[in-house]
Amino acid sequence: MTRESPLRAEHLAAGARLVDFAGWNMPLVYGTGTVAEHNNVRQSVGLFDVTHLGKVTVEGADAEALLDRLLPGKVAKLRPWRAGYNLVLTPDGGVVDDIFVYKRDEGFLVVPNASNTDAVIQFLQAGVRADEDVTIVDARGRWGILALTGPRAREVLFPIHPEAASLKMHDFRTMSLEGIDLIVARTGYTGEVTYEFLPEWDRSPEVWKLLLEAGRSCGIKPAGLGARDTLRLEMGYPLHGHELSVDINPLEAGLGWVIDWDKDFPGKGALENVHSAGVSRKLVGLLAAEGRGRVPRMGHQVFFEDRPVGQVTSGNFSPTLGAGIALAFVPLELSEVGTRLEIDVRGKRLPVQVVKPPFKAS
């Protein structure tokens, strides 16, 4: 069964092209196109519908103990009304999903990727001990999620919601916006100033219209998931199914900073072995030496002196740089910034250089 966003009618009215995304009908692009939407977010402000993201409430007296035991990152050290990035791992140290954990007064809100929500729920439920007081609820239909993103986001939000000015990165609060109760979080996935709104499902269209009206003088426009992907790629942020999977461990993906080595968690032993031996490959950014002509894509082969050394995990045209960019795992000895490699793009070699994301103009 395909799920529909509560904003479906708004998207269609705005000329969106809806596509299946992890079982949801979501806007890929609106009439202006992905590049225009991307640039508008970088230069002004855009509004995304990311309701497809999972929402799972974990509540009860033992909710914190459960999450801290099952996840490799610090949960017990989260202050109330703070969100933390975390991972769900296999016993072998692979990544089931990357998630955000929000600590509320009444418990926790866990936000997985859309395609992994069922797997995350099953993982959490399987970890509950018989004597623990924990209630885990699939809350996908409880809230919508809207993301106000861009350097002018504050100009849009603060006049209608001054209380949001108190939010620091990864803070969130329950607030009222023009009489609509919702959660407002200072989180995001684009590298730009972002405020994410979680209104009750049926109130989502009101919030969407309110924000678009408030941002009219700032040039706000809706943006689709195509632009969200190019924005996150320019930042070098990993995407599950690309830079993260059960066959990729967080150390080689550059996410070792998430792990609290002072506690036990599923997969710790396997990761300790990797940590002791050292990773054999590393996730790097690759910047093309040419412009629009050839664009690297997922699965394209990476070469060093005619020797295949890896594959592109994510690749696209960067609207900001006007050139192809990519992420790829390469052998550790070829991961130094400045190393020159090539990507096979439709039978022709595209010269690239290893860079450290985020991708920036020189």
56-136 to CATH, choices 3.90.550.10, 1.10.150.120, 3.30.70.1400, 1.10.3720.10? 3.30.70.1400
Give the pairing type, strands 3-4 and 24-29: parallel
8 A C-beta contact, residue 326 and residue 350: no
Average pLDDT over residues 232-249: 97
Q: Which residues contact 169 (CB under 8 A, 6 or more apart)?
A: 186, 187
Starting at the edge strand found earlier in the chain, the sheet holding 135-138 runs 83-89, 95-104, 107-111, 56-59, 135-138
- Taking CA atoms, 290 is separated from 1, 140, 286, 349, 351, in Å, by 43, 43, 12, 11, 8
pLDDT tens-digit readout, 253-294: 999 999 999 999 999 999 999 999 999 999 999 999 876 668
Report the sign of the C-alpha dihedral through residues 156, 161, 162, 166, in that order: negative
Q: Which two tokens stand for residue 239?
A: 């995407």
Q: Domain ranges for the chain, please list them.
A: 3-50+142-233, 56-136, 280-362
Overall average pLDDT of the 107-136 stretch: 98
Say what the pLDDT of residue 362 is: 58
* Global model pTM greater than 0.85: yes
**CATH H superfamily, domain 280-362:** Aminomethyltransferase beta-barrel domains (2.40.30.110)
Residue range 173-199: mean pLDDT, rounded: 97
Band (295; pLDDT cuts 50, 70, 90): very high
Residue 361: pLDDT over 90 = no
Asked if residue 186 lies in contact with residue 195, where contact means CB atoms within 8 angstroms, the answer is yes
Q: Does domain 3-50+142-233 have CATH number 3.90.320.10?
A: no
Q: For position 289, what pLDDT does the model report? A: 83
pLDDT tens string 49-69: 999 999 999 999 999 999 999
How many C-beta neighbours within 10 Å does residue 35 have?
A: 16
Distance (Å, whole) CA 352 – CA 288: 4
pLDDT of residue 331: 98
Cα(337)–Cα(354) distance, integer angstroms: 5
Mean pLDDT of 208-231: 98
